């Protein structure tokens, strides 16, 4: 009888052991600076997040592709060569994103909220954007960030 009970007890012990969290695959976030959101009127900071910066053609082309996760306190800032209408897609992007289009004067032009992953549907700016910020889907609503608000960023 004890021999038959041994596998059952072993199974119960195994099931009660803490499970290791699988590591996220794909490119990992690299902090290269910080970005602060400010309310449209006044100098009141809304929130500050860590940013990864993409300022060259290759970095801008890859963007958030292949990433499996992003934290609420992280974002990817694209610095474009010139302020002009911008259009992004979600090809090979696995998580919903809020895409925030920002003018050369660092004012938020518009926000494409919860852009659907794995699509080629264009996510476009309403006006000439010099910067584009991608954050986890829903974060702009969570923080209360809206068009007209401004941003400031610092590189590390």
pLDDT in tens, 76-91: 999 999 999 999 999 9
Q: Is 10 within the bounds of a domain?
A: no
Are 152 and 119 within 8 A, CB to CB?
A: no
Which percentage of the chain shows pLDDT scores above 90? 81
Is pLDDT at 6 greater than 70 in this prediction? no
* pLDDT on residue 42: 85
Are 90 and 121 within 8 A, CB to CB?
A: yes
**CA–CA gap between residue 137 and residue 118 (Å, rounded):** 14
* pLDDT on residue 16: 54
Is pLDDT at 18 greater than 80 in this prediction? no
Is pLDDT at 2 greater than 90 in this prediction? no
Which of 13-17, 23-27, 79-83, 121-125 comes out lowest in average pLDDT? Answer: 13-17
Q: Is 5 within the bounds of a domain?
A: no
How large is the average pLDDT for residues 39-51?
Answer: 94
Residue-number span of the structural domain to which 97 is assigned? 25-155
More confident residue, 94 or 6: 94
* pLDDT on residue 26: 77
How large is the average pLDDT for residues 26-40?
Answer: 95
Q: Is 7 within the bounds of a domain?
A: no
More confident residue, 43 or 113: 113
Q: Is 132 within the bounds of a domain?
A: yes
Q: Do the bridges between strand 74-84 and strand 108-115 make them parallel or antiparallel, or are there none, so unpaired?
A: unpaired
Q: Is 17 within the bounds of a domain?
A: no
Q: Is 4 within the bounds of a domain?
A: no
Q: How many domains does the chain have?
A: 1
* pLDDT on residue 9: 45
pLDDT 10s digits, 60-69 = 999 999 999 9
Q: Is 77 within the bounds of a domain?
A: yes
Average pLDDT over all residues of the chain: 89
Q: Is 50 within the bounds of a domain?
A: yes
* pLDDT on residue 12: 45
């Amino acid at each position: 009888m004890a021999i038959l009970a041994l596998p059952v007890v072993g199974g119960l012990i195994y099931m009660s052991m803490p499970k290791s969290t699988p590591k996220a695959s794909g490119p990992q976030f690299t902090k290269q600076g910080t970005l602060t959101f400010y309310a449209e009127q006044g100098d009141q900071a809304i929130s500050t997040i860590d940013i990864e910066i993409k300022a060259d053609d290759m970095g801008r082309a890859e963007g958030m592709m292949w990433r499996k996760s992003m934290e609420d306190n992280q974002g990817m800032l694209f610095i474009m060569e010139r302020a002009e209408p911008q259009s992004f897609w979600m090809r090979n992007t696995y998580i919903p994103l809020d895409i925030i289009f920002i003018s050369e004067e660092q004012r938020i032009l518009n926000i494409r909220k919860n852009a659907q992953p794995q699509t080629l549907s264009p996510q476009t700016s309403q006006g000439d954007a010099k910067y584009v910020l991608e954050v986890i889907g829903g974060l702009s609503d969570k923080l209360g960030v809206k068009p007209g608000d401004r941003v400031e960023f610092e590189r590390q």
